[in-house]
């Protein structure tokens, strides 16, 4: 369900409306939501049943029922419910309760209409840009930490041998070659590989988040309103 925000006519505080459904519409939404969750649960339960064969009918039914309960409040089920609701009803009544002055009013909106004021969108856009830049800074820290760990581990591996072989005199056998493995070398070699890919991932995230922040900052309010970044 789309968000509808209006400025309070008394104190001019931006207030988000809550949809008000009739009893028939509430029953319709509840039926669609229950049916969607049960369908998802039944599909997963069916595949569980196939995996276990005929015996899997019981565990499949149980798993399907449990998953149906778990996904009943998921975004996927809610999206399906809203989609069916908007196909059946062309408009929705919204109730606004101003948290500042307590003024209450109602207004009917056509479903699918985007009524969020430009000022609210600008605030959302600014907050998103700041969040992306903050995430980029955190990723820089992660890249530095993993980069230094990679360098230190690689330095140890380059300056030490992974194993050493020497001749040892064994009673009744004579001279024989013995190999001692430097397990610290192998461990730090693994650490270096893992940390290298982690550092690369953080660097990629930094580039991506900074690019997104720059793109959003350069958008007009109307462009941001219809962009995927707002979702």
Of the candidates 115, 139, 169, which is a domain's last residue? 115
Look up the pTM and report it: 0.55
Residues 71 and 138 in one domain: no
DSSP per-residue string spanning 182-202: -HHHHHHHHHHHHHHHHHHHH
Same domain, yes or no: 18 and 86: yes
In this predicted structure, what is the pLDDT of residue 84?
A: 76
Question: Do 189 and 105 sit in the same domain of this protein?
Answer: no
Q: What is the span of the domain harbouring residue 103?
A: 5-115
Counting every residue written for the chain, the total comes to 231
pLDDT score for 149: 95
**The pair of three-digit structure tokens given for residue 120, joined into one six-digit string:** 């609210």
Q: How many CB atoms lie within 10 A of CB 217?
A: 14
- Would you write out the chain's pLDDT as a tens digit for each of its 231 residues? 567 888 899 998 989 889 888 888 888 878 877 776 666 666 665 665 565 555 455 555 565 555 555 555 556 666 777 777 777 777 888 999 999 999 999 988 877 667 778 888 888 899 999 999 999 999 999 999 999 999 999 999 899 888 877 666 666 666 677 678 888 988 999 999 999 999 999 999 999 999 999 999 999 888 888 888 876
């Amino acid at each position: 369900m789309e968000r509808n925000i209006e400025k309070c006519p008394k104190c001019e505080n931006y207030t988000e409306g809550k949809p008000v459904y009739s009893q028939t519409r509430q029953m319709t939404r509840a039926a669609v939501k229950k049916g969607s969750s049960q369908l998802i649960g039944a599909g997963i339960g069916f595949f569980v049943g196939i995996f276990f064969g005929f015996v899997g009918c019981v565990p499949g039914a149980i798993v399907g029922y449990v998953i149906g309960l778990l996904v009943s409040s998921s975004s996927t089920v809610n999206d399906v419910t809203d989609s069916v609701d908007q196909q059946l009803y062309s408009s929705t009544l919204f109730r606004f309760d101003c948290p500042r002055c307590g003024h209450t009013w109602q207004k009917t909106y056509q479903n699918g209409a985007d009524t969020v004021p430009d000022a609210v969108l600008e605030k959302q856009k600014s907050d998103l840009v700041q969040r992306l830049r903050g995430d980029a800074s955190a990723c820089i820290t992660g890249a530095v930490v993993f980069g230094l760990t990679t360098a230190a581990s690689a330095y140890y591996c380059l300056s030490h041998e992974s194993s050493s072989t020497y001749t040892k005199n064994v009673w009744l056998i004579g001279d024989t070659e013995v190999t001692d493995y430097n397990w610290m070398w192998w461990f730090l070699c693994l650490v270096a590989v893992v940390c290298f890919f982690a550092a690369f991932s953080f660097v990629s995230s930094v580039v991506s988040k900074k690019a997104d922040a720059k793109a959003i900052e350069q958008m007009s309010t109307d462009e941001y309103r219809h962009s995927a970044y707002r979702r």
